[in-house]
């Protein structure tokens, strides 16, 4: 990680992992730039609404306003479930079922270039130990960062402080943060979690494992 005085960008969604990561960086005293990459996916409206609530709840002088970067993916993914909301991976499906081809390419390229153009030395993302996707491996992320930096003569580092952790450990680190404002769902209904998809079940299991009950961090 960077030294506490160094500014840092954090790639955020509305989910638990990136929320804890951002809140930890804010609590450490860093100047934190939250970045959200919008691709036109089915859940983004609900996700961004919850993200706004979370950012308001952790507001501090060193937390900068949310920057929304556009990386349209609807033309890329076509009638994929991530765009249509139809046939989303259900609870109990393997982690690999929620793979979006090249998603980290879009997220990280935009984030690295944003940081380079604004003099922010590092961007962090909340990739966990269990992430099975080919664009989340250390080798891939290091290669993508190197190539993107080479394209602009940059030196932006990509940090993955949770890469060795399961989600339950991340949640333990997040004790005391307003996780009730986070959101993890592939097919929200009227802005609320469907309760039946892969991400809803993953969230439910992680919260149960660390005994986060009485509504804290749950929806």
User: pTM for the full model?
Assistant: 0.90
Residue 211 is predicted with a pLDDT of: 61
Residue with tokens 């793979």: 99
Hey, what are 21's tokens? 């990561």
Give the pLDDT score at 41.
96
The predicted structure's pLDDT at residue 46: 96
- The list of the chain residues with pLDDT below 50 reads 1-3, 212-219
Please compute, for residue 144, the number of CA atoms within 13 A of its CA located in the half-sphere on the CB side: 22
Res 206: pLDDT:
83
Which CATH number does 8-209 carry? 3.40.50.620
Percentages helix, strand, coil for the chain, rounded to the nearest 5?
45, 10, 45
Q: What would the two tokens of residue 85 be?
A: 């909301």
pLDDT at position 5 is 62
Residue 36: predicted pLDDT? 98
pLDDT value at position 57?
97
């Amino acid at each position: 990680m960077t030294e506490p005085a160094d500014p840092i960008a954090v790639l955020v969604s509305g989910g638990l992992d990136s929320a804890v990561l951002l809140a930890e960086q804010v609590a450490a005293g860093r100047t934190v730039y939250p970045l959200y990459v919008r691709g036109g996916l089915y859940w983004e409206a609900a996700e961004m609404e919850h993200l706004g609530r979370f950012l308001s709840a952790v507001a501090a002088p060193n937390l900068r306003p949310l920057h929304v970067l556009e990386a349209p993916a609807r033309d890329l993914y076509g009638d994929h479930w991530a765009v249509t909301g139809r046939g989303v991976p259900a609870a109990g499906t393997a982690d690999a079922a929620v793979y979006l081809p090249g998603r980290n390419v879009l997220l990280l390229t935009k984030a690295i270039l944003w940081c380079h153009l604004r003099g922010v030395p590092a961007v962090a993302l909340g990739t966990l130990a269990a992430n099975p996707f080919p664009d989340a491996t250390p080798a891939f992320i290091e290669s993508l960062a190197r190539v993107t930096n080479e394209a602009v003569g940059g030196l932006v580092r990509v940090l993955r402080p949770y890469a060795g952790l399961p989600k339950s450990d991340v949640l333990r680190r997040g004790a005391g943060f307003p996780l009730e404002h986070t959101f993890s769902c592939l097919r929200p209904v009227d802005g609320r979690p469907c309760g039946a998809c892969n991400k809803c079940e993953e969230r439910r299991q992680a919260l149960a494992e660390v005994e986060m009950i009485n509504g804290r961090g749950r929806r």
